[in-house]
Every structure is written in C-alpha cells, then in structure tokens.
Structure 1
Amino acid sequence: MPTRTSPGPPHPQGAHRPAPLGTKEKIGLILGAIAFAFPLLVDIPNLEPLGERMLAIFLLAIIFWITEPIPLTATAVLVIMLEVLFVAKGGVFAPALPDPASADAGALADQLLPASAYFAALANPVIILFLGGFMIAHGAEKYGLDRNLASVMLKPFSDSARATTAGLMLITAILSMFMSNTATTATMFAVVVPILKALPKGKARAGVALSIPLAANVGGIGTPVGTPPNAIAIGALAERGITISFVDWMIMAVPFMLIILLFSWLFLSLVFLPKDARIHVEMTSNWDRTTNARIFYIIAGITILAWMTEPLHGISSNTVGFFPVVALLCLKVMGGADIKALDWPVLWLVSGGIALGTGVGATGLDAWLVGSVPWESLGGVWIVALLGLIGFGMANVISHSAAANLLVPLAVSLAVSLDGVDTLTVSVVVAIACSLGMSMPISTPPNAIAYSTGEIKISQMALLGMVVGTAATAVLIFALPSLWSAIGLA
C-alpha cells in the first residue's frame, strides 16, 4: 500500500510557467505550421501522397530545429509521432491502401511501414551504444575518474603556457572521445578557472579558455560515442544495411582529430599565447578506493577495451555498450538516481534523427529529392563538398545534433540513389562537418560554457572557430575520402 507523503513547500507563483516565446520562436511556429500544411494542401509534382506527407514532416523538422519554438528534443519526438500518424501503416492520416488488385497496391504497401518501425528509433542499437557511453561518462564524474585522469596526464607538461595548453587540449580531447563534450568542458574548466587567474588579463587568458571547448568539440569526433552527430550517422547507415565498427570509425576519425588539434594549438599559440607566458598547474590526484569505485574502474576499462578490439572478438559495439548499463546496475555501483541523471534529451534527439531518416527512405521522399536537383551533374566530390559545407555552415548557428539530424538522413538517401557516391563517406563527412561548427557561443554547449567565464570575446571565438573550422572542413572534404578509400574503409 503506498504511503502518503507530506506535501513540500509551495512553489513560487509562476515557477513552472513556460518562458514567453521570443520573436524568432513565434516566427518559427508560424513558418513551421505553413510549411507543414503546404504539401498536404497543394499537390507536389511527381511526389506520391505518402511522400507529400513525409515532406510536410521534414519541412516542419527543418524549421523547428533551426528556430527552436519548442525544445530540440520535443521536435524529435514530434517527428516520430507525426510519422506514426501520417506515414505509418494504419496511421490516422496515412493514405488509404488501394485495391489489392491494382498495380500500385504492392508499392504503397512496401512504403507504409508499421508504427513500430518508427517507435523503434527510441531503442535503436545506436541509442543503446550511446546509453553505455553516458553511463561510463556519468560514472567517471561520480567517482572522480575524470579529474584524476586529468591530474595524472597534466604532470608531464611544463609551466610554459603553450606547453600546458597543449596538455589541456590533449586531455580534453581524450576525455571527450568517451564523455559528452559538455561534461568534459565543465570538468576541465573546474581545473582551468583557478589557473586562468594566474595569467595577465587579455589574449593569454582568452587563448587558454578557448582551447578547452575547441578540444572538446574536436575530440568528440574521434569515437562513435563522442558526440551525437556520430551516432546519427551510424544509425542512418545501419538503416541502409551498412555497418561501421567502433574501431573503423576511430581509424577514420582519430588521425584527422589529432591533425586538427595540432593546427588549433599552433594557431592559438601564434595569435593568443605569448612565448614567455607561464602557467603553474598544481593538481593532486585523489583516487576513490571504495569497492564501488574499483568495480566501476574495471567495468569502464573492460567496456572501452571491448570497443577497441571489436574486430578481434566480433561482438558489436552496440552490444558492448549495453554491458556497462547492465553490469553497473546489477552490481549496485549505480542506481536509479544515476539513470535519471543521464542526458536523456540527447538520446531522444538522436532517435528523432534516426526516425526522420527511416521516413525519408521508406516514403520515396529521398528519390523525389534526388530527382528535383541535378545532383548527377555535380559529381561525387562536389556532392560531398556541398553537403559538408552546408553541415559546417548550419552547425555554426544551430545545434550540432539538429544540423546532423536534418542533413545526415538526406545525405544518406542521396548517396544511395546516385551512382559513384559512396554512402559511408558522405554520411561520415556530413556528421564530422556538423561537429566543426564552433564559431559562436550558440554553436555548441562547450562554447557557451567557455563564454560564460567572461574571459572570451565573441570576436575571438569567431576568429578561432572560423579559421580552424574552415581549414578542417576543407581537409575533411577534399583529402579524407581519398585516404579512406586507399585504406579500404570507403
């Protein structure tokens, strides 16, 4: 029998009242409604009724993810719900199936997926992979593993501001490969803020402060669990029957990540860090030696080792990702409160992108989009270039995850429909390009955290973000596909 609990203190009046919509959000709501209604009310040439319904959902997602009249996660689950209602078999507003004897009956039946196909995005294997990564990241924070690793790894670096910044960037990037970019940035700023005060006000402080979000954004590129765009790309590829292992992703991304880190450090040193600037970092490691902490260290180590050795044992990275979830809960190292603390909005946001890709592919909208633009005349390299540049541009002004949710499914659909365009290459290029947009505080949470310190001017962040992002995107588009092809990964 449930026990009655005494009521808590009364909430302040209006405490849960939603914030009023700004002008941008109001415009977004109006444009979203118009864009959604247009394909439903106006016949779109050469697009079947099911495709028109999916186009309505796709346009709504684009506008809502850019203008954010509702939270990004809300748009993601709205996409899934609309797909169930408008383009799933038996959906309330789905087209009626024609006479079974008609020529069109078979094709439409194939396009009308069951509602379960769209709901399945919420438990897609890639979501399970990310869930495992989130469990490890949360455990690392809970048991102090992140700060202790940073302490140990910083010791070899001298008091030179340039050398110490290189160490901070390397540590941030490594942590960001397995933790969320936001959590990594917050952890590293807990280390960095005290030492910023030892530097004179001005460029040196800004340079050190800028190095952390930049390294977190770039480091997240390195593994499938490093940042949501990676998971969105892997999920979109899996929907098309293309699998990419944890190790293969790292082989494709880590060398690029290290090159961009080196270039970023050189640019920071040249523009922001005087040669004679000094930073003295005093960090002591204080390892948690409780039984639960030791068990966590072992499970996290086993998980990461299993991810790195996937080609040897053949267990998929998704299955490996579920291991820490089960082990940590069963052994009571983590509990219900830890599950609640995970970044569920990000998982649902990724699910929305996966569901959007499923709908675009199933309803024939991808074929219509391909036929509406003379993509064939561009050639494979320029298709990759155009999509990569669009991803980089969008990710500077909207969430990286939202940009990837919009572009990756479209890019995969285009690649599948065109000859001479490698689907895996296009997907990975677009996902990574969406992680390179980092020129504004609104571009990504790590940038917002860094800007909140008050040590950085927007002009400084924009300069670094545009120089590094543009150079990295050019290398990504014009050099990496050939390299991946040469080593047999694409």
Structure 2
Amino acid sequence: MPTPSVRRSRPAAVRDRRAAASRPARREPLSTKQVIGLILGGIAFLLPLVLDVPDLDDMGERMLAIFLLAIVLWVTEAIPLVATAVLVIGLEVLLVSNQALLPVPEDATAYSTFLGALANPVIILFLGGFLIADGAAKYHLDKNLAAVLIKPFTGSARTTVLGLMVITALLSMFMSNTATTATMFAVIIPILGALPSGKPRTGLALSIPVAANVGGIGTPVGTPPNAIALGALAERGYHISFASWMVMAVPLMLVILIGAWLLLIALFIPNGLGIELDMKASWATDRKAVTFYVIADCVILAWMTESLHGINANVVGFLAVVALLVTKVMGGEDLGRLSWPVLWLVAGGIALGDGVGATGLDAWILSLFNWGAMPALVVVIVMGALGLGMSNVISHSAASNLLIPLAMGLATGIDGLEPVTIAVVLALACSLGMSLPISTPPNAIAYATGEVTTADMTKVGIVVGVIGTVLLVLFMPSIWGALGLL
C-alpha cells in the first residue's frame, strides 16, 4: 500500500525555506593547486617588500609585489579571477597611491586613477555591448537569426558546419563568446542527434567553440582582451574607432575561420554526409521587442560609422544603455544579470597597467632583457607567441591583463614598434589560445557535451592557434600599415 503523502501548510514550508536560507552554505575545500597558489602568492608578494631590488625604488618595489601576486593568482586561480582584479586595485590604492598607508612621494598617483578603472570608458563600451547581447537573448533575436541564417547551408553536413561557424562567429562579434556558445549549442542539439556518432559529432561540437573564439576578435566588444588593449591604448592617447578595429581584425578572423572549417571537415566530416534541418524563426512583435530591434540596429550602425558622425564608440555604448532602460525594454533586473565579473576583470587589467606605468615598473622589467637589440618584428613575434602560449593555460583575460601593460612599455623604446601594433597583436593572439578544455569557457561547454575528447580539442586548437598567430604576427602589421591604420 503506498505511503500517503503529507502536504505541509504554507507557513511550515516558509519556515523550512527560511531555516535552510539561514544555514551557512557548505564551503568547498580548496584544491591543492589553490593552496599552492595562495602560498606562492604570499611569498611572491612579500619578497619585493622585504628584499632590496636593485635599480628599483620603493614605489616600484611595492608595484612589483602587486604584479607578482597578480601573476600567481591569475595563473593558479587560487581565488576567482575577478577577486584578483579587485585585489590589484585595492592594493594599488593602499600601497602606491596618494592615499597609501606607507609614505609616498608628493607626485604619487591619485587614488581616483585606480578606482576610476572601474568606470573607464572601455568598461562603459562593454556595458553597452553586454546589455545589447542580453537583450538579444531575452527577445530571442539570437536564435531567430540563427534559424534564418542557417537556411542556405542545409543539405550537406560539411556545408551545415560552415553555416553554423559563420553564424557563431557573427554572433560572437557582438555577444560574449560564452553566451554565444551556449546559445548555439541549444540550437544544434537536434543536429547532433541527426549525425552518426563518432567523428561527425565531434567535428560539429568542436566547430562552435572554435568559431566563437575566432569570431570574438572581430569587434572591440567581442571579447575582454580587445577591451584591455583599447583601454591600454587610450591611456596613452591612442584611439581606435569601432570600424578601424573591424578593418584590422575581420580579415584575419575570416581567414582563420575558413581555415578552421577546412581543418574540421578534413578531420571529422566525411564528404557526402547529408543532413536536413527544419529550423523556424518565431519573431516577437510586441512593443518592447520591436523597440529592442530598432535600438540594437541603431547602436551597431552607429558603432560601425563612428568616422562619419564623430561620436565615440564608448559614448554610443552608454547611450545604448540609456535608451534600453528609458524605453523599459531592459530593466534593473537585466542590469543585475550582466557579466559584472568580466567588466571588473577588465578594470583590474586597466588599473594594473596604470600602476605598472606610473611607478616605472614597466621600464625596470624591460631593462632586464636586451629588447633594444631585437628588431621590431622579432619583438612582435615573441609577444604573439607569449600571448598564445599563456592564454592556453590561463584565461584569455588574465593573459592579456599581464602582457599588454608590459608590451606598451616596450613600444616606446624600440624603433619601428608601434603601440597599436603590439597591443592589437597581443589581444588577438590571446584570443587564439583554445587547445584545452580549461583554455576558454566555450571549450569547456563543448567538452561537457561528451562528444569531444581532450586529444581532438588539443589537435584542432594547436593547429588553429599556431597558424592564426603566424598569420597575425608576420602579415597583419604590414597590412595595417599599408591601410594607414598605424
């Protein structure tokens, strides 16, 4: 005889929920890597403070302590990446600003400079981009666009993979790589089921993160390394318009995307394999949805025509936020759901660059190597290789946060090396690190499907990353120069 169910009264259920909420959440134990990271971070932070570093003054030693701590914490992820970013800002205020707890020179950097990184114009640009991207998901614009754009690519599995990669790259130019990947996997789950198990499914599952990572390089709002590079350049008086960035990055993006597609179909998608899709768009036609479509179109158009109307892309990004909130298309709850950790992570990189430059730490680090003996091209190649290598084992944002401030110092001391070149090369190279499941969230999402092995991901990621970086460092600076972008 079945046991009768007992229905609790509403007050009892409320009391149970309150009791559960009042109980402290279980704390996850620290991993061995995190413990080691915390210990090494503490040692790295203390060493420059207790030892006399040759040719570096007190302010430089304090900044070196912060810089080394950031390196260890970002590499080991002993604490969340965003926590390291805000820790950097806090330590800079307490150690090297005019509000420091220790004695500082009269011309010490104002504390507002470091706190201002949280509202840097580049952060505002990303804020607008994130709100547009979240609106696209809220009003199903992303999935509807995917359904419309995939129609010309049905029939052949190889053609379908190309279509999905093009759509993913297009969305990733204006949405976060992670959000784009999650959206596209929701779209392709039925397609995966229609393919035979094994290599075809692996190829299709891999095509999405590869296209998302590559597509993110196409616009300033595509991925955080782009914002970090723009912020570093803006701090030194260099402005790159939205359209100029696209002119610099989109040709490379398209070449890498087509190359990655050819690699994937050669390895995983047999010729002659067919697939039929029946995806239908269902457009919302209520006032809020239509208003969002109009605002999004106007914002993207304004970003791409900055040279014609003269309104800075950062201002356009803020006006997008204003328009979406005033028209009630997006609300306070939508703002709360934005990727604030990403924005603060970018801010931490901007603040780190400010501190490295203001204390002379960049000049000291660069003096450790005979960079001046290297031709500008060799420096670009080395920096591109460092960006690619580091971004495979730590986050793309962390790698660009660490390398771009140092590279900007290089650009002022080597003949023929343009600051714009080194910053953009590093940003794009950091986005090409995609050989491991831990390299980037899109990779992790693809790996979680169970259709992709680490070996396959590594094989594809290394080939795409290395060839893409070679094209980037050897050919793109010359093309940018010929187009008058440097």
| TM class by smaller structure | over 0.9
Partner of 2:455: 459
Mapped to 1, the partners of 2:28 and 2:379 lie a distance apart of: 41
User: What residue is the counterpart of 1:421 in the other structure?
Assistant: 417
* Alignment partner, residue 93 of structure 2: 84
In the alignment, which residue of structure 2 is the partner of 1:274?
Answer: 270
Between the aligned partners of 1:385 and 1:377, the Cα distance in structure 2 is: 14
Amino acid of the structure 1 residue aligned with 2:32: T
1:35 aligned to which of 31, 44, 49: 44
Query: Which AA in structure 2 matches 1:275?
Result: N
Residue correspondence of structure 1 range 34-433 to structure 2 within 5 A = 34-93=43-102, 95-97=103-105, 109-110=106-107, 112-433=108-429
CA separation in 2, counterparts of 1:239 and 1:21? Answer: 38
Shift of 1:45: 0.7
Deviations along 1:39-84, whole A, 9 cap, x unmatched?
1111111111111110100000000000011000000000000000
**Does the CA-based 8 Å contact 1:29-1:69 persist in structure 2?**
yes
Moved more, 221-230 or 275-284: 275-284
Please, which moves more after superposition, 365-374 or 317-326? Answer: 365-374
Matches of 2:154 and 2:31, distance apart in 1: 48
2 CA distance for matches of 1:374 and 1:471?
28
Residue 15 to residue 453, structure 1, CA distance change in 2 (3 Å):
farther
Write the letter of the residue equivalent to 1:239. E
Distance (Å, rounded) in 1 between the aligned partners of 2:131 and 2:466: 33
- Aligned counterparts of 1:392 and 1:135: Cα–Cα separation in 2: 29
Q: Which secondary structure does the structure 1 equivalent of 2:20 belong to?
A: coil
Paired residue secondary structure (2:62):
helix
Give 1:42's aligned amino acid.
L
Write the distance in 1 (CA, Å) between the matches of 2:61 and 2:439. Answer: 32
Compared with structure 1, are the counterparts of its residues 13 and 329 closer, same or farther at alpha carbon in structure 2 (3 Å cutoff)?
closer
Contact 1:131–1:321 (Cα < 8 Å) also in 2: yes
Structure 1 residue 12: deviation in Å?
Answer: 7.1
- Equivalent residue, structure 1, for 2:4: none
Structure 1 residue 409, shift from structure 2 partner: 1.0
Shift of 1:13: 8.7
Aligned amino acid, residue 66 of structure 1: V
- Aligned counterparts of 2:330 and 2:244: Cα–Cα separation in 1: 30
Deviations 1:194-231 (A, max 9, x none): 11011111111000000000000000000000000000
CA shift for structure 1 position 9: 3.1
Q: How many residue pairs get matched?
A: 472
8 Å CA contact 1:367, 1:417 repeated in 2: no
Q: Determine helix, strand or coil for the equivalent of 1:396.
A: helix
Q: CA deviation at 1:15?
A: 5.9
Alpha-carbon deviations, 1:88-146, whole Å to 9, x = none?
013113x343xxxxxxxxxxx44x11100000000000000000000000000000000
Amino acid at match of 2:101: V
1:443 match: secondary structure: coil
Between the aligned partners of 1:64 and 1:429, the Cα distance in structure 2 is 24
Q: CA deviation at 1:486?
A: 1.1
SS in 1 for 2:94: helix
Q: 1:289 to 1:433 in 2, by over 3 A?
A: same
Query: Cα distance 1:14–1:403, how it changes in 2: closer, same or farther (>3 A)?
Result: farther
Q: CA RMSD in A?
A: 1.2
Post-superposition CA distance 1:389-408 (Å, at most 9, x none): 01100111111111111111
Alignment partners' CA distance in 2, 1:16 and 1:419: 56
Aligned equivalent of 1:9, options 18, 39, 55: 18
CA distance in 2, matches of 1:227, 1:455: 26
Code of the aligned partner of 2:287 = T
Whether the 8 Å CA contact 1:370–1:417 is kept in 2: the answer is no
One-letter amino acid of the counterpart of residue 234, structure 2: A
In structure 1, runs of 5+ residues without a counterpart are 1-5, 98-108
**Is the 8 Å Cα contact of residues 153 and 159 (structure 2) preserved in structure 1?**
yes
Which residue in 2 is equivalent to 1:101? none
Q: Report how far residue 158 of structure 1 moved.
A: 2.8
Structure 2: runs of 5 or more not aligned: 1-13
> Counterpart in 1 of 2:33?
24
Q: Is the 8 A contact 1:180 1:226 kept in 2?
A: yes
SS in 1 for 2:412: helix
Q: 1: distance between equivalents of 2:457 and 2:307?
A: 40
The AA in structure 1 aligned to 2:84 is T
1:265 Cα shift?
Answer: 0.5
Percent sequence identity is: 61
Letter in 1 for 2:462: M
Q: What TM-score do the two structures reach when normalised by structure 1? A: 0.95
**Per-residue deviation at 1:416?**
2.1
Hey, what's the Cα distance between the residues in 2 that align with 1:409 and 1:17?
38
The whole-number CA distance in structure 2 between the counterparts of 1:326 and 1:118 is 26
Q: Take 1:458 and 1:347, find their aligned partners in 2: how far apart are those partners?
A: 30
Please tell me whether the aligned partners of residues 98 and 104 of structure 2 are also in contact (alpha carbons under 8 angstroms): no
